[in-house]
Amino acid sequence: MNRIYLTTPLYYVNGDPHLGSAYTMIITDTLARYYRANGWETFYLTGTDEHGDKIAQAAAEAGMDPKAFTDQVSTSFRAAWDTCGITYDHFIRTTDAYHVRYVQELLTKVYEAGDIYFDRYGGLYCFGCERFYTPKELRDGKCPDHLTEPESIEEENYFFRMSKYQERLLRHLEEQPDFIRPEGFRNEVVAMLREPIGDLCISRPKSRLTWGIEIPFDQRYVTYVWFDALINYVSALKYKGEQLFQKFWPEAQHFIGKDILKPHGVFWPTMLMAAGLPLYKHLNVHGFWTREGQKMSKSLGNIISPLEMKEKIGMDAFRYFLLRESVFGQDADFREESLTARYNADLANNLGNLVSRVLAMEEKYFASIIQPLGQAWTKEDEELRGAFLQAEKELKRYMADLAFHRALETIWGAVDHANRYVVRTSPFVLFKDPAQRGRVGEILHHLLEAMRVLSHLLAPFLPETSNEIKGLLNLSEGATSQQSPWGSFFLPGHKVKPPKVLFPRIELPAE
């Protein structure tokens, strides 16, 4: 049986869900829905990253104890994803007892195997990133992410012998070139591995930070937040049972944004090697969204909230825009103007018109009752069927390649074809001739069939719209009609619903 294990990063609970996190959720949710519908066994994991300086500081600013603070924010994250209709299978919190236990077990194992050692270390530390920087990594002496000068600190800590696994990881990347994809990010990791990577400081003294998982072999320390958080991908499966772990871990596909490439591309695989666990299958890295060409940040006040987008244009339209307007792995820009243009052209006009005009004709000409299909199909009928079957086939390849924009382009190509079929066959003209009414019934039957196939093609991307179309076609919920050959599904006499506007046009203010 085919299987896939999909993961998102665990979101820091020092902010609200935004465009970046929503994008990863929408991609992974689309894949989960797609593979589930195709009969794959899927497990889809998300959650929240709750330890470390950043969170302790956010809790202090909110005047709350870190536990109460993380409970509150994690709950609101989860509620937000539920409202957005994200179909995750499990939601992990790094403060969950089973996760804490598993991190400690793994630390003990790696320590006992000799891959964790104690040492004195002095270095440049960025509190924002919660990590040490080498002078070479800084830009004008500042942290490239936070643009602040790191502080020079010296202390005794525990270190993970990451460098021991450097060569092995480099070899793995050479043997399995699509381990990290797209290729540009793989090359970045290869470049990192061609330089000495050093060992990784994995503890923080409690004198500086107490909000973390205690190092099981030294109570004076807590675990570095990344060494804790990355392990979630395994601890969640283990929590669900060893059998689930055995089944899904070899099929693991992580999805992350490009800023967290190093922890996922270097720390995590070397940690897995030290723990004696197999490596994940793929690390899939996406680019960054900007807004009207600018970086998004709280201080600029230009953050996009998925919940607000849902209110404003609906979740499906938001999903459509993010998936259609970006190329996986590349940066993308969120522009109000492109959003409106895509919405009106692709959703309101192309898709919306097809659905409403077909149902309107069926209602007007045949009281919404589907008419029989004759034996002889015209060239146009065959081509219509071909366009949808082709889209179905191409979808498979595009989904495997994470080319969501192409997948949608292909589906919209078929929708476009259906609209052209209406023009070419002109049922509204034919109907005027009583001798042609049988043919009009056939044309509409083909179009309703196209809508039925379309409802399946759209399901992973625009789940609400897909259900609406199924409802309009009067298909029972979860109807397993996907496999029916073209033209054999609807029995004459089947009644569809009156037309409905799926996507009301967004009227632009007059210039």
Pick the closest to residue 285 from 266, 261, 263, 269 (CA basis): 261
Q: Examine residue 463 and tell whether it contacts ligand MSP (CB under 6 A).
A: no
**Position among 43, 46, 49, 325 found at the interface with ligand MSP (CB under 6 A):** 49
Distance CA 461, CA 279 (A): 30
**Residue at shortest CB range from ligand MSP:** 257
Are the beta carbons of 361 and 427 closer than 8 angstroms? yes
Distance CA 79, CA 18 (A): 14
Q: Examine residue 11 and tell whether it contacts ligand MSP (CB under 6 A).
A: yes
- Residue 17 DSSP SS3: coil
Q: Examine residue 326 and tell whether it contacts ligand MSP (CB under 6 A).
A: no
Of residues 296 and 384, the one with the C-beta less far from ligand MSP: 296
Q: H helices within 91-139, ranges in order?
A: 97-112
- Nearest distance, CB of residue 267 and ligand MSP, angstroms: 10
**Position among 59, 100, 256, 279 found at the interface with ligand MSP (CB under 6 A):** 256
Q: Examine residue 229 and tell whether it contacts ligand MSP (CB under 6 A).
A: yes
Q: Examine residue 35 and tell whether it contacts ligand MSP (CB under 6 A).
A: no
CA dist 342 → 23, 210, 305, 334, 465 (Å): 17, 49, 19, 12, 16
Q: Examine residue 402 and tell whether it contacts ligand MSP (CB under 6 A).
A: no
Of residues 253 and 484, the one with the C-beta less far from ligand MSP: 253
Binding window for ligand MSP (CB under 6 A); candidates: 7-15, 193-201, 243-251, 413-421: 7-15
Q: Examine residue 306 and tell whether it contacts ligand MSP (CB under 6 A).
A: no
Of residues 61 and 119, the one with the C-beta less far from ligand MSP: 61
Six-digit token pair at 89?
């299978």
Q: Examine residue 321 and tell whether it contacts ligand MSP (CB under 6 A).
A: no
- Nearest distance, CB of residue 508 and ligand MSP, angstroms: 27
Pick the closest to residue 82 from 171, 15, 17 (CA basis): 17
How many alpha carbons fall within 13 Å on the CB side of residue 223?
29
Binding window for ligand MSP (CB under 6 A); candidates: 104-112, 122-130, 163-171, 252-260: 252-260
Are the beta carbons of 453 and 495 closer than 8 angstroms? no
Pick the closest to residue 235 from 106, 335, 356 (CA basis): 106
Distance CA 374, CA 446 (A): 11
- Residue 133 DSSP SS3: strand
- Nearest distance, CB of residue 298 and ligand MSP, angstroms: 12
DSSP 8-state assignment for residue 264: I
Q: Examine residue 303 and tell whether it contacts ligand MSP (CB under 6 A).
A: no
Q: Examine residue 230 and tell whether it contacts ligand MSP (CB under 6 A).
A: yes
Q: Examine residue 257 and tell whether it contacts ligand MSP (CB under 6 A).
A: yes
210 CB neighbour count, 10 Å cutoff = 12
Q: Examine residue 211 and tell whether it contacts ligand MSP (CB under 6 A).
A: no
Of residues 51 and 406, the one with the C-beta less far from ligand MSP: 51
- Binding residues with ligand MSP: total (CB under 6 A): 20
Of residues 212 and 427, the one with the C-beta less far from ligand MSP: 212
Q: Examine residue 81 and tell whether it contacts ligand MSP (CB under 6 A).
A: no
Distance CA 171, CA 176 (A): 8
Binding window for ligand MSP (CB under 6 A); candidates: 13-21, 112-120, 459-467, 473-481: 13-21
Report the greatest alpha carbon distance in the chain: 93
Distance CA 249, CA 277 (A): 9
Binding window for ligand MSP (CB under 6 A); candidates: 11-19, 114-122, 379-387, 403-411: 11-19
Q: Give the distance, in angstroms, between the CA of residue 225 and the centroid of all CA atoms in the same chain.
A: 23
Of residues 20 and 427, the one with the C-beta less far from ligand MSP: 20
Q: H helices within 370-503, ranges in order?
A: 379-400, 404-425, 427-430, 437-458, 463-472
Residues that bind ligand MSP (CB under 6 A): 9-12, 19-21, 23-24, 49, 229-230, 232, 256-257, 259-260, 288-289, 296
